[in-house]
Homo-oligomer: A and B are copies of this chain.
Amino acid sequence: MATPNADHIFAALADATRRDIVLRALAGREGVAELAGHYPMSFAAVQKHVAVLERAGLITKERSGRRKVVLTNIEGLNLARSLLDQYETLWRGRVERMTHLIASSEETDR
């Protein structure tokens, strides 16, 4: 699965085509060729996008006859989510701290 770190994950998500592939691969029904059919670019270009997503750990490929079905790996997405959640949590902490500051200054003000 290569080295799926935050850098790779966010970089992989920073492209509309790749985000759409992730979306379609949630269903886990299409091979690379079918996916390529949806986009106005060459088969090789789509294959490269798939490779980027694979390197980031956001998808896997599973052989099915002569095709390779592309599947979204929810674990990878969850890693990104948890990072953003962390920011959110810290943000809330900040807001609370600010609220406390305001509250205490209001106390001393009166």
Name the one of B14, B23, B74, B78 contacting A10, with C-beta atoms under 8 angstroms.
B14
- Indicate if A106 sits at the interface (CB-CB under 8 A): no
Please report the total number of A residues contacting B with Cβ < 8 Å: 30
CB-CB under 8 A from A7, the residues of chain B are: 14-16
Q: Judging by beta carbons under 8 Å apart, are B80 and A84 in contact? A: yes
- Indicate if A94 sits at the interface (CB-CB under 8 A): yes
CB-CB under 8 A from A27, the residues of chain B are: 94
Q: Judging by beta carbons under 8 Å apart, are B91 and A81 in contact? A: no
Q: Judging by beta carbons under 8 Å apart, are B26 and A90 in contact? A: yes
**Additional 14 contacts, C-beta under 8 A, given A9-B14, A81-B81:** A6-B14, A6-B19, A10-B10, A10-B13, A10-B14, A11-B14, A26-B87, A28-B94, A72-B91, A74-B91, A77-B84, A77-B87, A77-B91, A81-B85
Residues of A within 8 A of B (CB): 6-11, 13-16, 19, 22-23, 26-28, 72, 74, 77-78, 80-81, 83-85, 87-88, 90-91, 94
